[in-house]
Copies of this chain bind each other. A is one copy, B any other.
Amino acid sequence: MAGEYTLARLAELLGGELAGDGSVVVRQVAPPERAGPHDIVFVAQARYLAALQSSRAGAVILPPEARDASALPRIITPNPYLYFARVSALLNPAARPAPGVHERAWVATGARLGPDVSVGPGAVVEEGAEIGARSVIGPNCVIGAGVAMGEDCTLHAGVVVYHGCRLGSRVVLHGGVVIGADGFGLANDAGRWVKIPQIGRVVIGDDVEVGANSTIDRGALDDTVIGDGVKIDNLVQIGHNVSIGAHTAIAACVGIAGSTRVGAHCLIGGAAMIHGHIEIADKVIISAATAIGKSLREPGTYTGIFPSARHQDWQRNAARVRHLDELAERVKALENHLQTREKSS
């Protein structure tokens, strides 16, 4: 299914500097250890060059500092991983179902589908929804009433988008994603919970991708907003009225509680947990499995997780944490005691 290109043609299309035999035919990307004569590989940094030594790859993408580190036909570029991404996209265009509404789909009469939209078997598009040109609604997806989405979106199988939500263009939602369920808004009435109707929407920008089974809740009053170019991994929960700045990437199993504002160009590590009603500045990096309880107003890396240890070692130290305040008081007492003695002697 993948195409094939000469190395010279790749350089023409994607840039970079060609070195060595440009006529080598490239059919696929591969890791060095199992690449064959029609595969292209990449080396991100000079220190990973060892992997090339025994590789049978036909061509390689190299950074400038490794320009002459290989005799293979090669392309020199400042960001080999990015170049590799582009070569791979060229060689592996996404399979696209035929346009049209499948006989087993159900589309409400008042829904509007742009040109060349594809609606898969079992998919449901409710009243008033608008689907932009060439967008693909996968099998068994459910698009709620009045949803609007842009062009060239791809919703994989089993996605649910609740009524009224907005998606930009080129949005990708993976299997099982739920967009626009009610936020967790409750008032307490003498011990019983009374639901706050969630009347905001989810508004997603262009070029956003959301991983399998992640959930983004609709806003309580205002909207939950996901900026352009945001990338979200699997099993991530975004609470109501959260806003995520453009080009932020969020790894798997992260939770972001309600009304928190995350800046642009942030990196949030897997299983990080971010409290509600706080602000995270642009370009903040949060380490994996870190809980963030307060606003982070400066860029930089923030961490909150202890390295694990052998169970017995861990237990011995962990038990001491429960008496750390007392330990600190004892150190203070020792200091005071010595100071008093020094003075008196």
Query: Residues on A close to B: CB < 8 A?
Result: 28-31, 34, 79, 81-82, 84-86, 88-89, 92, 94-95, 102, 104, 106, 120-122, 124, 126, 138-140, 142, 144-145, 156-158, 160, 162-163, 172, 174-176, 178, 181-182, 184-189, 191-197, 199, 207, 209, 211-213, 215, 217, 221-222, 229, 231, 233-235, 237, 239, 247, 249, 251-253, 255, 257, 265, 270-271, 273, 275, 286-294, 300-311, 313-325, 327-328, 330-331, 334-335, 337-338
Contact = CB atoms under 8 A, between A and B. Distances in A.
Given A160-B175, A237-B252, 11 more contacts: A81-B187, A82-B189, A85-B195, A158-B178, A181-B234, A273-B288, A275-B288, A286-B308, A304-B308, A317-B322, A327-B331
Contact of A124 (B120, B172, B305): B120
Given A104-B106, A158-B160, A308-B291, A247 B334 contact: no
A271 B291 contact: yes
A181 B211 CA distance: 7
Given A92-B199, A215-B235, A257-B251, A300 B311 contact: yes
A162 B156 contact: yes
A139 B311 CA distance: 44
Given A178-B158, A287-B311, A239 B257 contact: no
A172 to B, nearest CB: 8
Given A142-B158, A157-B142, A330-B331, A217 B234 contact: yes
Contacts of A320: 324-325, 327-328
B307 A304 contact: yes
A196 B157 contact: no
**Chain copies in the assembly?**
3
A193 B249 contact: yes
Contact of A197 (B92, B121, B145): B92
Contacts of A270: 255, 257, 273, 275
Most buried by B among A178, A199, A212, A222: A212
A181 to B, nearest CB: 4
Contact of A234 (B237, B253, B287, B288): B237
A305 B271 CA distance: 14
A28 B197 CA distance: 11
A255 B257 contact: no
B317 A309 contact: no
Contacts of A335: 330, 334
A302 B318 CA distance: 13
B306 A302 contact: no
Contact of A318 (B188, B239, B307, B311): B307
B222 A31 contact: yes
Contacts of A324: 317, 320-321, 324
Contacts of A304: 305-309, 314
Nearest to A30: B221
A102 B185 CA distance: 31
A182 B178 contact: no
Given A186-B249, A287-B311, A334-B335, A234 B209 contact: no
